[in-house]
Amino acid sequence: MREITYRQALNEALAEELERDQNVFLMGEEVAQYNGAYKVSQGLLDRFGSMRIIDTPISENGFAGMGVGAAMVGLRPIIEFMTFSFSLVAFDQVVNNAPNMLTMSGGQFNIPITFRGPNGPAHQLGATHSHATECLYANFPGLKICTPATPRDAKGLLKTAIRDNNPVLVLESELLYSSKGMVEPLEHDLLIPLGQAELKREGSDVTIICYAQTVPLALAAAETLEGEEISAEVLDLRSIKPLDLQAILASVSKTHRVVVAEQDRPYCGIGAEICFRIQKEIFDELDAPIARVSQEDVPMPYNERLEQAVLPSAEKIIAAVKKVCYA
């Protein structure tokens, strides 16, 4: 194992899959000559050339659609959205063309495409640039969605996504690109299956279910809570769809108390689905109503103090944990 950044991990995943399969190519704004707006595709143009690492105009709907078309005839496109806030310009391609094709064609056309890029609020980018889109996309059958929170997960999930025969969204996090973590050596073909959650920390009093940007928050909260004699288990979903229900049920059956920490908004958010599943399957295991920590249900304000008030935080998770633990 060696320590690399989340950005580097994604870069390795792209390079390895481009190397492995000639049908894989990367397309998006500033991915080639600029080496990526967030430098995830650093060096790939030099290594793989301009037929495979392709700069596009600002035409999200157009190039996302090109990806779907290319996938229909056998290529395996990786479409980078500079951020998933801009994927909304291409919403029709991502939700209408990519995931419907297989059903509409009676099973003839599967779409092996990866849509990737940073998702979720960064820092003071305002309402148009701060969308957490996972709950939108999760509502469309035919799409798979993963949300890596560590360099290792970023690499393993992206490689798996590229090899998957369906449309997969890899929702990265701008705030995590420079974070570091241990990852298997380069020669190791690291593949992490979609739909497998991971316990990022074991505990016995409460389960904090989290993903993407809420994972570091949940870990920080658990650390603080330990000092107050509350033992929190941190379960990182890693994939939103498919969802690792077994891992959720196993942890909740152990701790009997749950806080869902999600980075999207509360109304029809990911946490709503998880709460439903838990109460449906193991209602009797619960010792307290489930708490959710999410964004506030407002367009994101620019002002820093207000933005902090909108976003989930370690403090909010701690407060929610204390509430479900009646502490």
Partner 1 sequence: MSSPEQRDEVEMLSLMLLIRRFEERASQQYQAQKIGGFCHLYIGQEAVVIGAIAATRPDDYLITAYRDHAHALARGTSADACMAELYGKVTGCSRGLGGSMHYFDKANHMYGGHAIVGAHVPLAAGMAFAAKYRGEDRVTLCFFGDGAINQGSFHEALNLAGLYKLPVIFICENNLFAMGTSVERSTSLKQIVDRAEGYDIAGYVADGMNFRDVRDKLAEVVDGIRKDPHPAFVEIRTYRYRGHSMSDPASYRTKDQLEKFRMDDPITRLRAQLTREGKLTNEQFDAMDKGAKDTALASVKFAEQSEEPPLEDLYKYTYANGEST
Ligand X SMILES: Cc1ncc(C[n+]2csc(CCOP(=O)(O)OP(=O)(O)O)c2C)c(N)n1
3-state secondary structure of 116: strand
Q: Pick the catalytic residue: 16, 17, 29, 60? A: 60
In angstroms, give the least distance from the CB of 320 to partner 1. 19
Examine the residue annotation and report whether 129 is marked as an active-site residue of this protein.
yes
Query: Which residues in 11-47 are b (16+ Cβ under 10 Å) and which e?
Result: bbbbbbbbeeeeebbbbbbbbbeebbbbbbbbebbee
Which residue number, 93 or 251, has a Cβ lying nearer to partner 1?
93
Window 154 to 213, contacts with ligand X (CB under 6 A) = none
Is residue 127 part of the contact set for ligand X (CB under 6 A)?
A: no
- For residue 178, the partner it binds in ligand X, partner 1, none, with Cβ less than 5 to 8 A by kind, is none
| Residue 297 interacts with, from partner 1, ligand X, none (CB under 5-8 Å by kind) | partner 1
* 89 makes contact with partner 1 (CB under 8 A): yes
Asked about 184 being catalytic, the answer comes back as no
Size of the site for partner 1 (CB under 8 A): 35
Residue type, 142: G
In the list 16, 17, 29, 236, the residue contacting ligand X (rule: CB under 6 A) is 29
Strands ordered across the beta sheet of 291-293: 198-201, 232-236, 206-210, 258-261, 291-293
Which residues in the 30-59 window bind partner 1 by CB under 8 A?
30, 33-34, 37, 55, 57-59
Q: Quick check: 129 binds partner 1 (CB under 8 A)? A: yes
Q: Is 313 exposed, middle or buried (0-12, 13-18, 19+ CB in 10 A)?
A: middle
The catalytic residue among 129, 285, 296, 315 is 129
If phi > 0 it is left, if psi is from -120 to 50 it is alpha, else beta; for residue 164 that is beta
Structure tokens at 305: 């103090």
Is residue 196 a contact partner of residue 244, using CB atoms and an 8 Å limit? yes
Query: Which one of the spans 65-73, 82-90, 101-109, 232-240 is the region binding ligand X (CB under 6 A)?
Result: 82-90
Q: What does 225-272 look like in DSSP terms, one character per residue?
A: HHHTT--EEEEE--EEES--HHHHHHHHHHH--EEEE-SS-STT-HHH
Binding residues for partner 1, rule: CB under 8 A, are: 29-30, 33-34, 37, 55, 57-62, 85-86, 88-89, 123-129, 296-299, 301-306, 309-310
Binding-site ranges for ligand X (CB under 6 A): 29, 58, 60, 82, 86, 89
The residues annotated as belonging to the active site are 60, 129
